[in-house]
Amino acid sequence: MRICPVCEKIWPNAELERCPNDGSPLYALGQSGAGPELGPGAVVGGKYEVLSEGPKRGGAGRTFLARQQRLDRIVELRMLPRDTIRGPSDEARFLREVTTWGKLRSEHLVRLYDSGVTPDGMPYMALEVVEGGVMGERLRREGPQPFARVVTLAAHALDALAAAHDASVIHRDVSPEALLLEVTPEGVERARLTGFGLAKQVGGDDDPTAITMTGMFLGNPAYMAPEWMMRGELTPAVDLFALGITLYELLAGQRPVKVTNTSEALAAYVKGTPTPLAAHRPDVPAAFARWLERLYAFDPTQRFARAADALRALQELQDAGLRTEAVSAVVAPPEQGGPPSRAMVVGVAGLVALVGVTLWFLRG
């Protein structure tokens, strides 16, 4: 079976590649994942004893709480579908990606301890256990988040992304589901970034449009930067765009433009105008709102180039006290609502045509 990450409909045809409803790429689900035999007491990879099933983290596969027997350490065990690896090249990519993740260092990154593939072909990852909730779940449960909390999330997520970008790694899947919020023993909130399953090392030889080890298509269209979606350009700025959309959503309870599928994203990037944050959160300082607009600017030339630059600008705002101003003065980044460039129109036209042909073929 395969599932659409946009409409969440499950399709029984395992050969189907795109959703007949909205044209989104599908990913594997069902019996190819970690099966029901992985219950308490099961041992994975000869070293991880399953204790209980954990929360769903997004993407394919299942998550378990497990004990690493040799070190007597509790880990989060992420089990991916068996059909994630179909040959030597897939296994090499899986090992390369988890090795890249394991080398990243930041106190705001969820650490990857270990990885491997079981004898029957199920890839797994052993991760640090973070005692905190997923921000996506918190948003759905509580609604828009306090401004001070979102500033903390912004700073910590940027610190994590800066570590990744310094290592020439692009996350490619930043969203509220990739942010965890924990409370330290001192009672201080701390954000942790996870979900590096789609990460790409810049300069690698793998196709940036290919499906990766998670069995999931590359990115949720609601958080995909225009230049990536339209022209396949992949730079650290795509992570900043996704983080900007994420932070706006955490503050406002909705995204700056309505995007639920690829077609809506394309339309929004060509002729849409982001709703100013002031329309939803007049309590947010105007200086912060302007800073946030530089994260999710549709035009990548008006966006921060790297996470370190965005973090430095945020710290300067914090040093200045983030004084409350009349946020109604905030305007959208220049030219975002203006006429699209010829290159953008050509890119969108080609992609729309491709989506249309694919949908016609699937429904035919």
Q: Give the catalytic positions in this structure.
A: 173
Structure tokens at 109: 């990154």
Least Cα distance to 38 among 18, 9, 66 occurs for 66
- Binning the chain into helix, strand and coil, the percentages to the nearest 5 are 40, 15, 45
CB 33 within 8 A of CB 124: no
Number of residues that this document lists for the chain: 364
Least Cα distance to 202 among 159, 237, 156 occurs for 237
Residue 89: how many CA atoms within 13 Å on its side-chain side? 6
CB 183 within 8 A of CB 192: no
Q: Give the CA diameter of the chain.
A: 61
SS3 4: coil
Other Cβ atoms within 10 Å of 18 Cβ, number: 20
